[in-house]
Chain A
Amino acid sequence: MAKKTPAINSSSTADIAFLLLCYFLMTTTMGSHFGLNRRLPPMPDPTQKIEDQKVNRRNIIQVKINAADRILAGSEAIDVSQLKDKIKEFLTNPTNDPNLPEKEVKEIAGYSKGTYPVSKGVISLQNDRGTSYKAYIAVQNELVKAVNELRDDFSMREYGRKFAALGEDEQKVVKDCIPQNISEAEPKDIGQRR
C-alpha cells in the first residue's frame, strides 16, 4: 500500500500574496489621469503681416479674470456660478438679439436635417499674471460645462440620448453643430508681476 503524501501546508501563501500586494500598493499610483483638454493657438509668424482679423463685435464675449480672481464677462462683473448661464445664453441666442452672436446656416455632413444654424460666437478668455490657477480652472470648467450642456440638450432633442452615449459619427455631427470656440488671448502684462 502506497503511503499517502502529506498535504503541503498552504496557509503561508496568503502571507506571501499579501506581501506582494503591499509592494504594489506602495510603488504604484492609481491610473486616474483626468484633465481639461485645450489646443493652444500657434505662435504668429513674425514675418507674416498681421492681418487684422475682423470679427464682429457681437460675436465675441470677453471673459476676464483679474488678479483678485474677479470675473468680468462681456461688460458686467459676475460670479462664477452665473457664468455658465451667461455663456449658454450667449451661444444659443434664443431671441435673436442683435447684441448676441449671429448664426450661420451651415450644411453639416451626416446631419439628418441637412443644415443647422451654427452660432458664430467665440469666447475669449483673458487672465492676469496674478490670477490664481484655481480660479482660472474654475472658469475654464464653467465654459466647458456650458458647451457640454448645450451639446447634451441638442443630442437629447435629435437622438434622444446624452452626448456621451452617442456613436462617433453622431458625436461629430453634434460637435459641428455646437462648436467649442474658446480662445485664449495673448497674455497681457497688467497688474502686479509675481
Chain B
Amino acid sequence: MSRFKQGGKKEMPGITSSSLSDIVFMLLFFFMVTTQMRETENKVKVVTPEASEVVKLDRKDLNSYINIGSPTLAYQQQFGTESRIQLNDSFRTTDEIRDFIAAERDSKKESDRQLMTVSIRADQDVRMGIITDVKQELRRCSALKIMYTARKPAK
C-alpha cells in the first residue's frame, strides 16, 4: 500500500498570470505619479547645459517657461535656424515678453505672485546676446526671480 502514488504522467500546472496585471498596474501608477502632462509643443530645439550644482524647483505651478533655441526641423523652412524665443506655443520677440509675463502673473493666485519664477530654458549653443536681452526685459517687468534650467551631468 503506497500513500504516494507514482503512477501516471502529471501535467505541469500553468503559471498563473493573474499577478502580472498587478505588476503592470504598479508600474502604471509609478509613472502617473512621477511624470507630468506635456503642456506645450516644443518648437525650438533645446539641449540644456550641464551643471552639477542644480537645485530642484520647489513650486512647479508658479513657474513659467521661456524657451530659447534654434527652431526644430519642421519650422526651419519658415523661421530659419537663427535662435528664437518661444513663449507658450509660438515664436515671439523680446518685446512680447512683457505681455507674456503680465498674462502669467494674472493667472497666478494673488498671494503667490511674488514667488513666481521664470525658467529660462535655453539651448547650450545659444549666444548670450539673446539671453541678455531677455534678462533685461524681465528686469523691466520686474520679474526678478529666474532660473537657468540645467541638467545634472551623467556620471
A-side residues, CB < 8 A to B, are 10-11, 13-14, 16-18, 20-21, 24-25, 27-43, 127-134, 136-138, 140-141, 144-145, 148, 184, 187, 193-194
Q: Complex Cα distance A87/B120, Å?
A: 26
Complex interface: chain A residues within 8 A of B55 (CB)? 34-37
The number of residue pairs between A and B whose CB atoms lie closer than 8 Å in the complex comes to: 155
* Interface 1/0 per residue, B97-131 and A, CB below 8 Å: 00000000000000000000101001111111101
Does B56 lie within 8 Å of A24, measured CB to CB? no
Which one of B5-13, B22-30, B73-81, B85-93 is at the A interface? B22-30
Q: Is the CB of B126 within 8 A of A24?
A: no
Residue of A nearest to B147 (CB): A35
Contact of A40 with B31 in the complex, beta carbons under 8 Å: no
Q: What's the Cα separation between A30 and B124 when bound, in Å? A: 20
Query: In whole angstroms, what is the CA distance A137 to B60 when docked?
Result: 22
Size band of the B side of the interface? 35 or more
> CB distance A130 to B149 under 8 Å?
no
Question: A133, B54: Cβ atoms under 8 Å?
Answer: no
Least CB distance from B59 to A in Å reads: 10
In terms of DSSP, what is the predominant structure of the interface of chain A? mixed
Verify A17–B132 contact, CB threshold 8 A.
no
Q: Do B135 and A40 touch across chains, with their CB atoms under 8 A apart?
A: yes
Q: Is B154 an interface residue when CB atoms closer than 8 A count as contact?
A: no
**7 closest A-B pairs (Cβ-Cβ)?**
A129-B129, A28-B35, A34-B54, A13-B21, A134-B124, A17-B24, A141-B51
B28 touching A20 by the CB < 8 A rule?
Answer: yes
A145, B53: Cβ atoms closer than 8 Å? yes
Between-chain CB contacts (< 8 Å), 7 pairs: A33-B63, A41-B144, A127-B128, A129-B132, A130-B127, A136-B128, A141-B51
Which residues of chain B are near A141, meaning CB under 8 Å? 51-53, 150
Which residues of the other chain, B, contact A14 by a CB distance below 8 angstroms? 17, 20-21, 24
Which of B28, B63, B135, B146: most chain A Cβ within 10 A?
B28
Q: Which of B24, B37, B52, B149 has the most CB of A within 10 A?
A: B24
B35 near A29 with CB under 8 A, answer yes
B70 → A minimal CB distance (Å): 12
Residues of B within 8 A of A39 (CB): 144-146
